[in-house]
């Protein structure tokens, strides 16, 4: 199976339209990934597209006891995390109001596991790296608003 668009409860990506200006989105975005060029580019794209939304990139996930209700969307680089199920649980504990979405390679050997996590509502979205940055940014907001 090949993923060509983000999996979520909207067809905005398929039609290439941008969700609203972020007015319905409450909270910031936390990206859990290595701080490389790709993810720094994503942060810059999100900040340009939605200037009123705070975006944080970190390669460290604080202990779940430290929670942040101000984050509305958590993006996890699936290949960065050795135990994805544990990471999702920790993210949900730390960011109780957030939608959790995996960013992944659409040819990943774990694609079936990721689809299962989505189907079982443990995550709210799957975003393939093949999406253009602007489309990825709009998808992030649509997923966060869907929850």
Residue 111 predicted with pLDDT over 90 = no
Q: Give the integer Cα–Cα distance in Å for 54 and 27.
A: 8
Whether residue 18 contacts residue 44, with contact meaning beta carbons closer than 8 Å, is answered with no
Q: At what angle do helices 133-146 and 37-49 cross, to 10 degrees?
A: 70
pTM of the model: 0.77
Report pLDDT digits (tens) over 32-80: 998 888 888 888 888 888 888 889 999 988 765 666 778 889 999 998 9
């Amino acid at each position: 199976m090949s993923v060509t668009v983000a999996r979520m409860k909207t067809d905005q990506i398929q039609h290439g339209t941008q969700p609203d200006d972020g007015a319905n989105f409450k909270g910031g975005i936390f990206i859990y990934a290595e701080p490389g060029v790709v993810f720094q580019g994503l942060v810059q794209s999100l900040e340009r597209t939605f200037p009123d939304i705070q975006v944080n990139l970190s390669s460290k996930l604080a202990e779940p006891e430290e929670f942040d209700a101000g984050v509305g969307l958590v993006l996890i680089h699936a290949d960065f995390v050795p135990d994805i199920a544990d990471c999702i649980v920790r993210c949900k504990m730390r960011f109780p109001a957030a939608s959790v979405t995996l960013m992944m390679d659409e040819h990943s050997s774990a694609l079936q596991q990721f689809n299962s996590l989505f189907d079982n509502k443990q995550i709210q979205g799957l975003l393939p790296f093949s999406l253009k940055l602007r489309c990825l940014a709009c998808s992030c907001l649509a997923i966060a608003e869907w929850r």
